Chain A
């Protein structure tokens, strides 16, 4: 298995632009998590899905952030409009909640908003 796949790996954009981050979970995993990591705030859970349904989005910082999971093999995290304070590494992770509870992280997307 290729593991959790994220794209793009790096993104540089200007303030005000829309940013879309993509994630493909490990096949067969039914829970998917989006995290943001910064030096100041550490690892923050933004939102997570179970069986493609959003379960808890209380970590989403504001309305500029939205996430979708249209099917079991794809999820997006969108920021519109982006701001410099959104600069961070965004990780996607997945697991199968009926067996092991280990989360497998993707390689992350390093976002820089100028």
Chain B
């Protein structure tokens, strides 16, 4: 089955700096890669996603890149703000598998004011 590895497990940055979280996946058939943000005590919520036919996607301060050959994808947050502090999860899935995602172990991002 699919295996997703996520790094780093914790990340601390100064407000205004950029943050990068990286994930690798094992199943070359995976074709959809969402990123979720989970604030303390809340549910995971989708913040951005990318499909395998696209190399990069951007939404304001967040962007995701995908390298299908190397089987890795990354989340980039620019101009970080304290409210970006949360746990971020990457996931990978093959869209004919009834939507089953394999999640990374999460990255705890702390943005220091």
A residues contacting B by CB (< 8 A) are 31, 33, 42-43, 45, 48, 50, 55-56, 91, 95-97, 101-108
Whether B29 sits at the interface, judged by CB under 8 Å, is no
The reply to whether A101 and B106 form a contact with Cβ atoms under 8 Å apart is no
Majority-rule SS of B interface residues: loop
Chain B 66-113 interface residues, beta-carbon cutoff 8 Å to A: 89, 93, 95, 98-101, 103, 105-106
The reply to whether A56 and B100 form a contact with Cβ atoms under 8 Å apart is yes
The reply to whether B44 and A43 form a contact with Cβ atoms under 8 Å apart is yes
- Among B42, B43, B103, max chain A CB count under 10 A is at B43
Whether B46 sits at the interface, judged by CB under 8 Å, is yes
Residues of A close to B32: CB separation below 8 A: 101
Knowing A43-B103, A102-B34 touch, does A55 contact B45 (C-beta < 8 A)? no
Residue contacts A-B, CB under 8 angstroms, 23 given = A31-B98, A33-B99, A33-B100, A42-B105, A43-B106, A45-B100, A45-B101, A48-B100, A50-B98, A55-B98, A55-B100, A96-B99, A97-B98, A97-B99, A101-B34, A101-B93, A102-B46, A102-B49, A103-B46, A103-B101, A105-B45, A107-B42, A107-B43
